[in-house]
Amino acid sequence: MAAQAGNRAGGGEAQPRLTVSRSALLVGGSDRAFRVLVHRMLAVAARLETVRSGFAAFVGLSGIQYTVLISIAHLGEADGVGVKEVAEHLALSGSFVTIVGGQLTRLGLVEKRADRRDRRRVRLTVTARGRAVLARLAPVQREVNDVLFEPLDRRSLAAVARSMAALIDSGDAAIGLLHYLSGARARRDAPKHGAAP
């Protein structure tokens, strides 16, 4: 394809190389619509992070502390929730959730206790103090979230939720591939043994 090869007819400016090759992501042989989508997703992600940071600051927490706290509250109910379930829900590592859970415990917002069915496991519950923190935030949270997600109706909410879940899985696979390809390139470009520096 002439554009992908590099130049317009007549020696014009070089065309950007395609950033995807799957036909489903190309429109008329161009990846422009895909690039627009990616950049809009990045813009949405930045706004989500700003809102999350604002919610967290309202109650004196970091963004990730707030996220883990509200996840424990929603997932755990009366019996608490395991670290593994919180980690899966947030697509984070169990060790990272354990660290943040420890911070919330020291703040008196979360309580850790042994699982009644398996004493080796820990269950997390939100304390009365933690529930009070979330109750103080809730009116602000509702108002802001209603505006943030105003374009979504019930059908589009379900569709976006499905798409996000699938993109988390494919994102993990893409990160693994990126690490592999980056490592392969580093190994390829490394000076050969005995070569002059």
User: What is each CA distance from 168 to 10, 12, 157, 160, in whole angstroms?
Assistant: 44, 40, 17, 12
CB-CB contact of 124 with 79 (8 Å): no
Tokens of 41: 């997703």
Reported pTM: 0.81
Domain boundaries, the chain: 30-150, 152-186
As a CATH number, domain 30-150 is 1.10.10.10
pLDDT per residue over 59-74, tens digit each? Answer: 999 999 999 999 999 9
Specify the amino acid at residue 195.
Answer: A
pLDDT per residue over 76-124, tens digit each? Answer: 877 889 999 999 999 999 999 999 999 999 999 999 988 777 767 889 9
Q: What integer pLDDT is reported at residue 5 of this predicted model?
A: 44
